[in-house]
Amino acid sequence: MEQIILKIKNKKKVPFLKELLKQFDFVEIIDSSSKKRKSKKEEILDGIEESVEQVKQHIAGKIKLRPLQELLDEL
């Protein structure tokens, strides 16, 4: 299967182009606008939030975290 990525400059033309491509039975349209990708900033913030939650659970005695040295040894 071959893939072609199109970048449409005029947003008003996108529906027309999608409708046109749907007419071809050999074309599959994967709409990237429906799949919102997280920005790097959002990914980093999500990671920080998860880490803070884990530290809170550790302090409350609900989970046990690995020692820092063990993490560094993996690198």
Q: What is the pTM of this model?
A: 0.46
Q: What is the C-alpha radius of gyration for the chain, rounded to an integer number of angstroms?
A: 23
User: Residue 22 contacts by C-beta under 8 Å, 6 or more apart in sequence?
Assistant: 29
- pLDDT tens digits, residue range 33-42? 655 666 788 8
Task: Give the pLDDT score at 51.
Answer: 92
Residue 23: what pLDDT?
93
Gap between the Cα atoms of 17 and 29, Å rounded:
11
Q: Are 21 and 29 in contact (CB under 8 A)?
A: yes
Q: Which range is most confident: 4-8, 30-34, 38-42?
A: 4-8
